[in-house]
Amino acid sequence: MNIVVCLKRVPDTETRVRIDAEGTGIETDGVKYVMSPYDEFALEGALRAREAAGTGEVALVTLGDAASGETLRQGLAMGADRAVLLDGTVTPDGLATAKAIAAEIEGVDAPLVLLGVKAADDDQQQVGPMLAVVLGRPCATGVVEFAVEGAVVRCERETEGGTEVLELPLPAVLTITKGAYEPRYASLKGIMAAKKKPLEQKSAIAVEPGLVVERLELPPDRPPGRVVGEGPEAVPELVRLLREEAKVL
């Protein structure tokens, strides 16, 4: 079975973010980029599903600039079969991204489309469900493990205090979160083979974003800690502060 995995190139999660001069984006100088970790889980899930089935291909799709090609190569080195780079601007509008990706996926015979539950940079969790709507397919979000069984895909989601099992008819869209799919690293053969795998670059369809970022701000510095007192006699005051000021109890 063919599977499409949608990836996003994001700043390394250890990046110390600085706001740019316009105040609407981040300084990109010296920033290291990686595949969004949630997308790595999705890719690992796709590779295992292909290995379990013994047939089919895993295709990667991303929207971004030429540099996103590196992220796709990394996915190819991990074991994906081919990749498509939709050359275009990534906006904060999840729907615009979903439409651009849908335009590519509509023409592809792939009953399963996987994405990370969210991009590690903007955390919006929009593109997966929106893509499902644009494609007219059912969607399960935050899936920790899935298995294709005939014409359906069984998904496990972790809910508060339990596990939810869903069954979706194929074709379907799943967003994957941390769980069963600890991503593999590329072997040397994988890296060498990736150089020869097809990486197609085409222009993304133009979608006018319906959402713009007005302003970005770093969170305020955390106030320093406060010592309420010492020993058991300080406990009532501590509890009162936690309840009334910090509102965590």
Partner 1 sequence: MEEQLREAVRSLCRGYPESYWGALDRERAYPEAFVRELSEAGYLSCLIPEAFGGGGLGIREAGIVLEEINRSGGNAAACHAQMYTMGTLLRHGSEEQKKRYLPEIADGRLRLQAFAVTEPDAGSDTTSISTFAAREGDRYVVRGKKIFISRVQHSDLMILLARTTRRADVDRKTDGMSVFLVDLRNVGDRLRVQPVDTMINHETNELFFDDVEIPSDALIGEEGKGFAYILSGMNAERILLASESIGDALYFTDRATRYAGERTVFGRPIGQNQGVQFPVAGAYIRSRAAAALRDQAADLYDRAEPCGAEANMCKLVASEAAWEAANAAMDVFGGYGLAEEYGIERKFREARLYLVAPVSNNLVLSYVGQHVLGMPRSF
> Which spans of this chain sit near partner 1 (rule: CB under 8 A)?
70, 73-74, 77, 185-192, 194-195
Pairing verdict, β 172-176 and 33-35: unpaired
When the beta carbons of 85 and 186 are compared against partner 1, the nearer one is 186
Residues 6 or more apart in contact with residue 224 via CB below 8 angstroms: none
When the beta carbons of 78 and 86 are compared against partner 1, the nearer one is 78
When the beta carbons of 45 and 88 are compared against partner 1, the nearer one is 45
Q: How far is the CB of 222 from partner 1 (least distance, A)?
A: 16
Distance from C-alpha of 5 to C-alpha of 106, rounded to nearest angstrom = 14
Q: How far is the CB of 15 from partner 1 (least distance, A)?
A: 15
Q: How far is the CB of 21 from partner 1 (least distance, A)?
A: 27
Q: Radius of gyration of the chain from Cα atoms?
A: 21
When the beta carbons of 195 and 240 are compared against partner 1, the nearer one is 195
What's the half-sphere exposure (Cβ side, CA atoms, 13 Å) at 216? 16
Q: How far is the CB of 93 from partner 1 (least distance, A)?
A: 30
Instruction: Give the N- to C-terminal CA distance of the chain in Å, as an integer.
Output: 50
What's the half-sphere exposure (Cβ side, CA atoms, 13 Å) at 222? 4
When the beta carbons of 69 and 111 are compared against partner 1, the nearer one is 69
When the beta carbons of 74 and 141 are compared against partner 1, the nearer one is 74
Give the pair of three-digit tokens for residue 115. Answer: 């994405």
What 133-137 contacts at long range (C-beta under 8 Å, 24+ apart), as own/partner pairs, is 133/98, 134/98, 134/99, 134/102, 135/102, 135/105, 135/106, 135/171, 135/173, 137/113, 137/171, 137/172, 137/173
Q: How far is the CB of 185 from partner 1 (least distance, A)?
A: 3
Residue type, position 180, single letter: A
Pairing verdict, β 58-64 and 3-7: parallel
When the beta carbons of 189 and 215 are compared against partner 1, the nearer one is 189
Q: How far is the CB of 192 from partner 1 (least distance, A)?
A: 6
Give the pair of three-digit tokens for residue 5. Answer: 């995995």
Residue type, position 147, single letter: A
Q: How far is the CB of 34 from partner 1 (least distance, A)?
A: 8
